[in-house]
Structure 1
Amino acid sequence: MQLYKYVNIPLCLAFGFSQSVFSETPNNSEILETVLVVGQKSKAEIEQEKALTPGSITLVDGEDLRERNVSNLEDMLRYVPGVWAASGSTGDTSFFSSRGSNLDATHYDGNGVKLLQDGLPVTTADGNNHNRIMDPLSARYAIVAHGANALTYGASTLGGAINFITPTARDSPPEIFFNGGSHGQAQARMTASMVSGDIDGLVTLEAKRWDGYRDHQKQERESIYANAGWKLSDTVHTRLYLTYIDNNQQLPGSLTREELHENPTQAQTQALNGNYQYNVETWRAANKTVWDINENSHLSIGVSYESQMLYHPIVDKIMVDFDGNGPNPPVEVFSLLINTEQNTAGTSLRYNLNAGEHNILAGLNYSNTIVEGGNYRNGHGIRNGLTTRVDNTASSLEVFLVDRWQVAPKWNVVYGVQAISSDRDVKNINNEYGSLFNPKADFQNLNPRVGVLYKQANDVELFANLSRLYEAPTNFELQDDVSPDNKPLDPMQGTVIEVGTRGQKNLTGTTDYWRWDIAVYYGALTDEILSVDDPDAPGTSLSANVDDTVHAGIEALFGASFGLGDNDTSRIEPLLSVTMNNFNFHNDPVYGNNQLPAAPGYAVKGEIIYRNTSGFFAGPTFDVIDKRYADFSNNYVVDSYALLGFRAGLDQNNWEVYGELRNLTDTDYVGTFTVVDIGSPDASILNPGEPRSIYIGLKFRF
């Protein structure tokens, strides 16, 4: 992948943790009666589903998120091993990667992880999450299926899937929630709910304001989340979901290393001159209907439609003095303001059958996305002339079949296959010359999977799986292709093997216990799509296929609960999430065996919380993060860092209060950065992480 050859080609871009839970596990015959990926799941059902997956699954409990400040996806995924999430740009924006997905300059694309809400797609048909990151506080649960373990969601991605389960009036009481603190953060949420016989409804209104810890970093967001359920009969129930989000954010831009050390609160000069913003108005409607055909078979049908309006000034004027002699003024050769409308329609079908020792799940996902609008010159945040007309489409059909077969009392064999058929069609028309850039292609593949589960004890499992990976390029990657013609990029393909164990052990004669969830995986990939920032058009990227890469790692989560004294009224609950990453090129003609950028070699996050029966809790938190590379050439090193925090709170019957201190030592560190080919010392690519901060939250339940 000789990206350096193309750098002169100007292209236009169009779990407070979730517990990985190990409760008293029922026997397999009871587990096999679980309905998979249909309806509104209880926590016990999610845990049972996890117990039948021969690979890594993590559960995030939305109630636990109310014990600490959760502003974005980084906060939500803090204790999920194998997922690297970081913020540092602004507001809701977070970079996230699972098992080495999205490790390049198109981090804004957010591809590699399929996002779903109640099993219905949020991610667009081409696989990007560019305009849409879920609000963590709007989820009752989130299920993180790592890598190929997302087969039961139909996902065809390197990183897997995250399914956000919506709270309903039947599992979430009315409440008022306030939080605020450093950097002008102020947020209020009010939830009203009603249950009347076979009908229930819930509405949440939310408003958020944030000034940010840098100049030109303000955020304003208003949201409405609503759903209503109706039990049509003893065997059929349906639920309607409505969402509206109006989110406006300023973007402070990236800094050089020198600028970050001198003053990490400053904004990039170009971001001020270009008035960089990221404003998205979203509405979504969805419906899911579940039919319990009989005690052994269930059918779920869902549809969704989401519309997004994006207004995104992102590149300031790039001026060139062509003759270099003056007095002729420099000429603007490039600036960028994206103004598009994106509409995604999706449908989902699930059929679950228990037949003797077999638990069979058949499913289908279909989605179609249309993006229309244009790229404009940017005049200080105002459209200043159309440069490119955008008319992009994508569709994706995923069909899958999984059988969880109990071959012996302690053994389950899980095997299945996914068929995927998708198309991409990028139409970028130069407004001045009328020229058409039109990379398009159809992608089809068959992805098998086989795994085994061994129940060593009542609450201890061993697992292993061998799976095929496949991911087609997004439309963003196609339109950023370094190739000068319309030939599309190839899809990424590979094979991954995973082994692991999870369980819980009670200490003899006590209520004390410790739990674990460990997975080791190794994936060999071909044609991985990687992108670097285009130096001739900052804020845009150049994409190409890489012959061979390796994605391997260790994901480990450890937790415990130890009583203090004889009366067991106080407990110490430590939690430790450990991620070890080995993502690298394999005998690449340009990069050899260099490490892939963006993800650290290791990430350790944990806490030690004291709790007592009166509802009080308190304890320290900590982060230890390894160095990262900001370039494919491994010349630019982003330093490792360690952070210390503290959180405390009091949980009573009808109210709860928490306080959280972050970065107590006020350590300067890098949150996110832009990936380049060869990093120069003066490159403007760094976004500082959060300085010392304090937050307070208060919740009233009714």
Structure 2
Amino acid sequence: MFMKQWPAGFGMLCIWVVASQLIVSGAQAETGSERASQLDIIVITPERMSKAIRVDDVREALRSVPGNVSVIDGEDYSERTVTSLSDALWGVPGVRAPSGSGQESARVSIRGSGLSSGGVRGLRLLRDGLPLGRLDDLGDSIYADPAGADYMEVFRGANAMGLGVATLGGAINLVSPTGYSRPGVTLRVDGGTHGYAKGAATIGEVFDNGLDFYASASTFHSNGAREHSAQTLSRFYGNVGYRFSPTSRGRLHMTREFYKVEMPGPLTRSQLQNDPSQANADYVVADSRIRTHPRWHTAYVHELDLGGDDHLSLGAFHTGTKFVSPGTGYVSHYDATDYGVSWRHEINRRPGGRDNQFVWGGNLGRGRSHDAATWPDYLAPLPFPLSANLATLDAKRANLELFAENTYWARPDLALIVGAQATRVWRRTDNHVAPLAAAYFPDGSATARYSGLSPRLGIVWDVASDAQVFANVSRSYEPPNSLNFYTFEGLLKAQRATTAELGTRGGSDDLGWELAAYHSWVRDEILLAADAGNPYLPARAHNARATRHMGLELGIHGRWRPTGLPGYLDWRLAYTWSRFRFYDDAVYGNNAIPGVPPHMAQLTMLYRHPSGFYAGPGIETASGWYVDQANSVKAPGYGVVNFTMGYEAPDGKYRVALDGRNLTGKRYAAMTEYVLDARKMGDKRYFTPGQQRAVFLSLQMGF
């Protein structure tokens, strides 16, 4: 049943894939050209399995993408303490990743994706091109450990088409360390304010028989800057690679994580400004927390060289999460498993003497989750048994995505890109809800199928040897996840958007830039909002008929070498302008969509001495933003000052760093709850405090 009733566009995509392969396969192959070497882009290049890849080479390769993409070098953020994915993404324009109360979990959004979500939605988290979370893009940033990446690729929106992703937010791809990229042993310890302590060890080795391995183990604990915000987490990640032949390589990845995180909850504005270290009283009484038992992820990627510059990557993954989470309204007992396969075929030819790259592939997967809600014991005594079953929600999901993209260099300085993704999605849920929980969850069973086609056209023009202009028009298609597609009002529609993007990038280490402007016309945007009048009910999903997402993403970096002073000043500026609004909504008119500051800027300045010493401030500012769709309550804007100083030995054998956060002690909200109309809410606790003043010390040694 899952394979039936494909959209007409899916058949067109299949025909295009076959025809394109015949055309490029029939053309004479010419390998070794300079341009062709730049086309080995995205995911895992064939060399990735058997040698370390320079980040600068990755950035150069991604110049073939007709949109805004970023590469984050793991060496850059390892110069300071990284408490969450938020720290690693700090200073990337267009990316908002606040970490409430300075905890591990961050709310990550790109171009307005998942603004109402408590974690990550409409943005796919990947490791080497394979999903780290659930198939329906519902996840948590805690799944993506930046310490377990050589570098991270940020593909905004449809620029992730080469990964088979066509969502409003795009994808963040962690590229794994290997024995080739991180040989030897590394030990690191971090300690700091509020009882923060973390220890990590890594080892990498390459053997003469084609075998290599990399493994890392880490654990940390923090008492938290707020009451009831302690967290404990331990991770193991490892991979083993083997070169079966000069043209065949494989790598097995294994991850196992345990975490226990207390949830302090949101505060009122008065509480935020008077004492942000306190917790929401209801969360304390309910002992709100989440504890896994454990979370695990396994993946395998195999690569084949097919002759010339043609490559085939095959992947499979299996992931699962099991946790218990007491909340203020009920206790959730959650168990989910997802598994799937993917493939990516890259064909490089020179038809008519012009460089051409054709990539096609697909993702196929299935998953299921079991969520049992029980009555919390803290509400006793009541006229029914403690821990009484309130609801069981058994959900299943299946995804099939086929994608193809062709990059043709019509001239040595001009590339034309055309691509598309076809999506077929199946959702089912069986809900058994007791009368006590009738207001929490819809009862009964439901099945839904969603099909969509997301085309894309783009252009890249090298206006100079060190400057590019790019533009693209694309569609995105996002079916609802298996937890919220079935609502009290019926089945949710899939979210669709058409996005136009125009930008430029270029420069050098001394002065470089990336600038992109985009406009997304969104239909049936999926939003989750707290029910007016009852803050204890879970947020309910609904479709907003029409919304508009507009934005500007600016990144500038450079190196200034002051006269008479050794070394240089390494500086980076990121500015993001966001204008997300409803469009002629029957209730909210053209109000702003809550949850994101219209203006956000981050500036880093590090003086680097030839001896290995470095020091400098990091400044973040943001304007105020609305909390509710009625635009009746605003979160205050803020400015935060950080400072980092450290020393790295010239031989790279050790590094010591001191990292100060929020040195002025600013009391501010890092993120807010998403509600319909704050004027109708009896509970005014919307604000989650940001990082309070803290100092961290780290020591890293390599052998």
Scaled by the length of structure 2, what TM-score is found? 0.89
The total of aligned residue pairs comes to 645
Determine the structure 2 residue equivalent to 1:695.
696
Shift of 1:396: 1.1
1:538 partner amino acid: Y
Q: Which amino acid aligns with 1:267?
A: A
Give the Cα separation in 1 of the matches to 2:335 and 2:402. 28
Aligned to 1:564, the other structure's residue is in SS state coil
Q: Distance in 2 between matches of 1:417 and 1:182?
A: 49
Using the TM superposition, give the Cα deviation of residue 89 of structure 1 relative to its aligned residue in structure 2, in angstroms. Answer: 4.5
| Unmatched 5+ stretches in structure 2 | 1-32, 381-385
Q: Which residue of 2 aligns with 1:172?
A: 182
- Change in 2 beyond 3 A, CA 1:185/1:402: same
Do structure 1's residue 465 and structure 2's residue 472 form an aligned pair?
yes
The question of 1:155 aligning with 2:165 is answered yes
Q: Are the equivalent residues in 2 in contact too, given 1:519–1:555 (CA < 8 A)? A: yes
Cα separation, 1, equivalents of 2:525 and 2:667: 33
Describe how 1:290-439 pairs up with structure 2 within 5 A: 290-315=303-328, 335-356=329-350, 357-380=355-378, 384-431=387-434, 436-439=443-446
5 Å-filtered alignment, 1:30-41, equals: 30-33=37-40, 37-38=44-45, 40=48
Counterparts of 2:105 and 2:379 in 1: how far apart (Å)? 19
Equivalent-residue separation in structure 1 for 2:379 and 2:349 (angstroms): 60
Question: Hey, what's the Cα distance between the residues in 1 that align with 2:642 and 2:273?
Answer: 22
Instruction: Determine which of 237, 249, 252 is the counterpart of 1:240.
Output: 252
Query: Match for residue 648 of structure 2?
Result: 651
Q: How far apart, in 1, do the equivalents of 2:403 and 2:56 lie?
A: 25
Whether the aligned pair in 2 keeps the contact of 1:420 and 1:445 (CA below 8 Å) is yes
For the structure 1 residues 96 and 34, does the alpha-carbon distance in structure 2 shift closer, same or farther, using more than 3 Å as the test? closer
1:133 CA displacement: 2.8
2:548 alignment partner in structure 1: 550
CA contact (8 A) 2:101 2:691 kept: no
1:377: Cα distance to partner? Answer: 1.1
Note if 1:625 corresponds to 2:638: no
1:185 and 1:542 map into 2 onto residues whose CA distance is 35
- Aligned-pair identity in percent equals 28
- 1:530-550 alpha-carbon deviations (Å, 9 max, x no partner): 121134362511221111100
Query: Which residue pairs with 2:283 in the alignment?
Result: 271
Return the letter of the residue paired with 1:169.
G
> How far apart in 1 are the matches of 2:362 and 2:370?
27
Q: In 1, Cα distance between the equivalents of 2:545 and 2:134?
A: 27
Contact 2:233-2:258 within 8 A present in 1 as well = yes
Secondary structure in structure 2 of the residue aligned to 1:565? coil
Q: Distance in 1 between matches of 2:569 and 2:435?
A: 67
- Aligned-partner residue type, residue 540 of structure 1: P
Looking at structure 1, the residues matched to 497 and 253 of structure 2 have their Cα atoms a distance apart, in angstroms, of 36
User: For residue 59 of structure 1, what is the amino acid of its counterpart?
Assistant: V
Alpha carbons of structure 1 residues 585 and 169: separation in structure 2 relative to 1, 3 Å? same
| Map of 1:329 onto structure 2 | none
Q: Secondary structure at the match of 1:49?
A: helix
Alignment-derived partner of residue 124 in structure 1: 134
Equivalent residue, structure 2, for 1:588:
585
> Does 2:201 correspond to 1:190?
yes
Question: Partners of 2:581 and 2:43 in 1: how far apart?
Answer: 35
Aligned to 2:599: 602
The structural deviation recorded for 1:127 is 1.9
* Secondary structure class of the residue paired with 1:64: helix
Is the 1:482–1:544 Cα contact (8 Å) retained in structure 2?
no
Q: Which amino acid aligns with 1:345?
A: Y
**Superposition deviation, residue 349 in structure 1:** 0.3
**8 Å Cα contact 1:193/1:200 also seen in 2:** yes
Equivalent residue of 1:475, what SS?
coil
Q: Measure the CA separation in 2 of the matches of 1:196 and 1:38.
A: 21
**TM superposition shift of 1:132:** 5.1
In structure 2, relative to structure 1, the CA distance for the partners of 1:557 and 1:564 (3 Å cut) is: same
User: What is the distance in 2 between the residues matched to 1:201 and 1:572?
Assistant: 37
Question: Are the counterparts in 2 of residues 36 and 49 from structure 1 also a CA contact under 8 Å?
Answer: no
CA deviations 1:488-524 (Å, max 9, x no partner) are 111111211001000015xxxxxx7200011000011
Q: Deviations over 1:19-63 (max 9, x none)?
A: xxxxxxx95343135576445372244223311000010111111
Deviation at 1:92, TM superposition (A): 1.5
Displacement of 1:589: 1.3
Distance in structure 2 (CA, Å) of the matches to 1:376 and 1:131? 26
CA deviation profile, 1:592-634 (whole Å, cap 9, x unmatched): 1111100100110011111111111111110110111110011
| Paired letter, 1:348 | S
| Structure 1 letter corresponding to 2:701 | F
CA contact (8 A) 2:107 2:119 kept: no
- Separation in 1 of the partners of 2:263 and 2:514? 38
Out of 152, 158, 173, the position equivalent to 1:142 is 152
Distance 1:269 1:228 in 2: 47
For the Cα contact (< 8 Å) 1:199–1:231, is it kept in 2? yes
| Cα distance in 2, alignment partners of residues 678 and 35 from structure 1 | 43
Deviations 1:275-310 (A, max 9, x none): 000112211111111011112211110101011112
CA displacement, residues 337-386 of structure 1 (integer Å, 9 cap, x when unaligned):
11011101021101001011210111111221110241111124998121
Question: 1:254 is matched with which residue: 256, 266, 280?
Answer: 266
Name the SS for the 1:438 alignment partner.
Answer: strand
Q: Distance in 2 between matches of 1:381 and 1:231?
A: 59
Contact 1:90 1:250 in 2 (8 A): no
* Structure 1 unpaired stretches of 5+: 1-25, 316-334, 506-511
| Paired amino acid for 1:147 | G
* More helix, by proportion: 2
> Which whole-Å CA distance do the structure 2 matches of 1:346 and 1:124 have between them?
10
Aligned residue among 634, 637, 642 for 1:637: 634
Asked if the contact 2:156/2:170 (under 8 Å) is kept, the reply is: yes
1:236, 1:516 → 2: CA distance?
A: 38
**CA shift for structure 1 position 131:** 8.2
Offset of residue 551 of structure 1: 0.5
Pair 1:399–1:623, CA change in 2 (3 A): same
